Amino acid sequence: MSFVYDPPQDAPRIIHADHEILVVNKPSGLLSVPGRGPDKADCLIERLRGAFPTILLVHRLDQDTSGVMIFGLTPHAQRSLSKQFEERRTKKAYVARVAGRLQPKTGRVDLPLIVDWPNRPRQKVDHETGKPAVTDWRVMKAEDHETRVRLSPVTGRSHQLRVHMAESGHPILGDPLYATGWAADHPRLMLHAESLRVKHPETGIQQSFNAPVPF
């Protein structure tokens, strides 16, 4: 499967900036960090580096996912935030539109994941060697053909939400890797990082950052 990288040209919207952290709303279709090859050099962190030259990576969002992404602006902030992610002390909430009627109102997907090497960047469920991956979900609005759902990842594996929804029989609409047929035929991946709560590296105060759902 080959993709032409054609990132959106609109500038990422800044949600919050201080001398320690930078929080932005990443647009769908833009890489978080540079990909392989000069054609994939354009990315969120490089677009931000001009205005924030000390910017440091903490976590990533998939190219096709939009929403809240946080960066450190000092080594201390990067270490503090990275540790919070590693120790699962952040709180992340995503909104997705998935195929079919998801039932019941709430649930949990607990399926270990590993990279599908012959089909990279795809991930797959592997009960033998996969790393633990857990996603909680809550239905926001269910219809016969699709469901709007809030997803709360307990772990942070690559493509976790996308694989978990596909494995549950309700792939995320517009997913070029895990959806097929009409479910794949959407203008973008219908997955958005709506909110992120972290402890500020300097003050120690819990802060929540939000980005409105664009679909």
Active-site residue list: 62
Query: What's the CA gap between 27 and 192, in Å, rounded?
Result: 9
From the CB of residue 104, how many other CB atoms can be counted at a distance below 10 Å?
A: 7
Question: Of all helices (H) and strands (E), which one includes residue 166?
Answer: helix 160-167
Query: What's the CA gap between 133 and 152, in Å, rounded?
Result: 12
Cite the DSSP H helix spans in 39-117. Answer: 44-49, 75-86
Report residue 136 CA to chain centroid gap. Answer: 15
Q: Is 131 helix (H, G, I), strand (E, B) or coil?
A: strand
